[in-house]
Amino acid sequence: MSNTYLAQIHGLGQEIDGLVKDILRLLDSCAAGEAVSFDIRLCLEEALINAVKHGNKNNKNLPIKVSYCISGGKFMASVEDSGNGFDYKKIPDPTTKENLLNTSGRGVYLIRRLMDEVSFNKSGSKITMVKYLK
């Protein structure tokens, strides 16, 4: 399967749930396996929630662009918000003692741990994630 799918969402809730369910159906058709599908689902949800909350500041009028494909034994997805971005190089480590009790700040950490490749555009408004379908 090598089609690239494009989607646009504007807020939390059913739009994210529907998009993630569509992607999981594609993964099922590729026999990706439960562990791989779980990692992809969690990382997609984290990236989309970050885009809505932090990138678009919960403004439902601003779109979030999502593209994804399954090709060559891997799943790739990009999530781009309409915000100004952030300095992804300066994200505090949520596992350090001073950050353990913080109520946020674990999404990008989880994405980096669970996906095989993670990159950001220069401004930090777009994340691209790759997971190998072993």
What are the chain's domains?
Answer: 4-132 (3.30.565.10)
Tokens of 40: 């992809």
The closest alpha carbon to 43, from 10, 20, 11, belongs to 20
Residue in the block written with tokens 């998009």: 19
Could you read off the pLDDT of 67-124 as tens digits, one per residue? 999 988 999 999 999 999 988 888 878 888 887 877 777 889 999 999 999 999 999 9
Cβ–Cβ under 8 Å, residues 42 and 77:
no
Distance CA 21, CA 30 (A): 14
Distance CA 40, CA 8 (A): 18
pLDDT for the residue 1 = 46
Distance CA 59, CA 98 (A): 31
> pTM for the complete prediction?
0.88
